Amino acid sequence: MSEPLFDIVFYGITQPGKERDVVVENMATLFKTTPDKVKPYFAGGRKVIKSKVDELTAEKYRAALENVGLVIKLEAIEQAEEADETSTSATESSQQKSAADDSGISVAPVGADVLENPPEVTPQPIGDISAISMAEVGADVLENPPEVKAQPIGDISDITMAEVGADVLENPPEVTPQPIGDISDITVAEVGADVIENPEPKEVAPVPDTSGLSVEDK
């Protein structure tokens, strides 16, 4: 029996507590490339980093990749191929069955009655409707519409509309400015300047020996 082979698969999931941007940089450092080259691996979905490697090599890759913040899955090649074959076989079987079932089907002419034995419908008596007529367009079809009683709203003769832009608050609350201290030494930084004098260093995981690692060619 031949030695089992594995695909090293990444689904865009990072280790809990790890910042995605930091993990991207760590992965780029691991494979000696730029972050832009590895960003597509973080877009989600199944991404094969390395395919058809033996178990020892697969575990080596997984340890290195999980060390920089990725969640890695090792998928056996035989299982993946069996799944593909099962899916293909099921699709072909479905197509063959559909073709066999459709072999005796034809399209009826326009207007034809497609029911060979339509159910018999017995008309029901509806009584005398000679006194029924159609109301004119816009007519009120309610003979006795409900009466809506107007509600008193009181005297509003002294209410007027304020002019556009007028302050409608007769006695607006007074806001007392708060002292902010001396700001004479404060200036505005130039556009694009780094306003953090001492930025905190980004977390970078230690990189193991990567001399034998490479990314699968696409």
- What is the structure's pLDDT at 13? 93
Residues 6+ apart with CB under 8 A from 140: none
Domain count, the chain: 1
Q: What is the CATH number of the domain that holds 50?
A: 3.30.1390.10
Residue 22 counted as domain residue? yes
Kindly report the pTM of this predicted structure: 0.39
Q: Residue 119: pLDDT above 80?
A: no
Minimum mean pLDDT among 11-15, 30-34, 56-60, 97-101: which range?
A: 97-101
Mean pLDDT of the chain: 77
Residue 105 counted as domain residue? no
- Structure letter (DSSP) for residue 198: S
- What is the structure's pLDDT at 214? 73
Residue 25 counted as domain residue? yes
Query: Percent of the chain scored above 90 by pLDDT?
Result: 31
Residue 139 counted as domain residue? no
- What is the structure's pLDDT at 150? 77
Q: What is the pLDDT of residues 43-78, one digit of tens each?
A: 889 999 999 999 999 999 999 999 999 999 999 987
Residues 6+ apart with CB under 8 A from 23: 14, 15, 42, 68, 69, 70
Instruction: For the chain, report the end-to-end CA distance as a whole number of angstroms.
Output: 30
Residue 71 counted as domain residue? yes
Q: What is the pLDDT of residues 143-193, one digit of tens each?
A: 777 777 777 877 777 777 778 877 777 777 777 777 777 777 777 677 767
Q: What residue numbers bound the domain in which 68 lies?
A: 5-81
